[in-house]
Chain A
Amino acid sequence: AQKITQTQPGMFVQEKEAVTLDCTYDTSDQSYGLFWYKQPSSGEMIFLIYQGSYDEQNATEGRYSLNFQKARKSANLVISASQLGDSAMYFCAMREGDAGNMLTFGGGTRLMVKP
Chain B
Amino acid sequence: NAGVTQTPKFQVLKTGQSMTLQCAQDMNHEYMSWYRQDPGMGLRLIHYSVGAGITDQGEVPNGYNVSRSTTEDFPLRLLSAAPSQTSVYFCASRNSGDSARPQHFGDGTRLSIL
Chain A residues with CB under 8 Å of chain B are 4, 33, 35, 37, 43-45, 47, 50, 52, 91, 93, 95, 98-108
Q: Is the CB of B42 within 8 A of A106?
A: yes
From residue A11, how far is it (CB to closest CB) to chain B in Å?
A: 15
From residue A110, how far is it (CB to closest CB) to chain B in Å?
A: 9
From residue A97, how far is it (CB to closest CB) to chain B in Å?
A: 8
Provide the bound-state CA to CA distance between A106 and B37, in Å.
11
Chain B contributes a number of interface residues (CB within 8 A of A) equal to: 28
**Which chain B residues (65-107) contact chain A, with CB distance < 8 Å?**
88, 90, 92, 94, 96, 99-100, 102-105, 107
Which A residues touch B35, using CB under 8 A?
103, 105
Report the tally of A-B residue pairs with Cβ distances under 8 A.
64
From residue A53, how far is it (CB to closest CB) to chain B in Å?
A: 10
Q: Which residue from B33, B40, B41 sits with its C-beta under 8 Å from A101?
A: B33
From residue A32, how far is it (CB to closest CB) to chain B in Å?
A: 9
Chain A residue at minimum C-beta to C-beta distance from B43: A105
Which B residues touch A98, using CB under 8 A?
99
Q: Is the CB of B100 within 8 A of A33?
A: yes
Q: Is the CB of A101 within 8 A of B31?
A: yes
Provide the bound-state CA to CA distance between A99 and B102, in Å.
12
Q: Is the CB of B45 within 8 A of A43?
A: no
Provide the bound-state CA to CA distance between A95 and B43, in Å.
13
Provide the bound-state CA to CA distance between A80 and B93, in Å.
29
Counting from the closest, the 10 A-B pairs by CB-CB distance are A105-B42, A45-B105, A47-B102, A101-B31, A105-B43, A101-B48, A98-B99, A107-B42, A44-B107, A102-B45
**A108-B99 in contact given A44-B107, A45-B105, A101-B48 (Cβ < 8 Å):** no
Which B residues touch A95, using CB under 8 A?
99
Q: Is the CB of B94 within 8 A of A43?
A: no
Which A residues touch B94, using CB under 8 A?
101
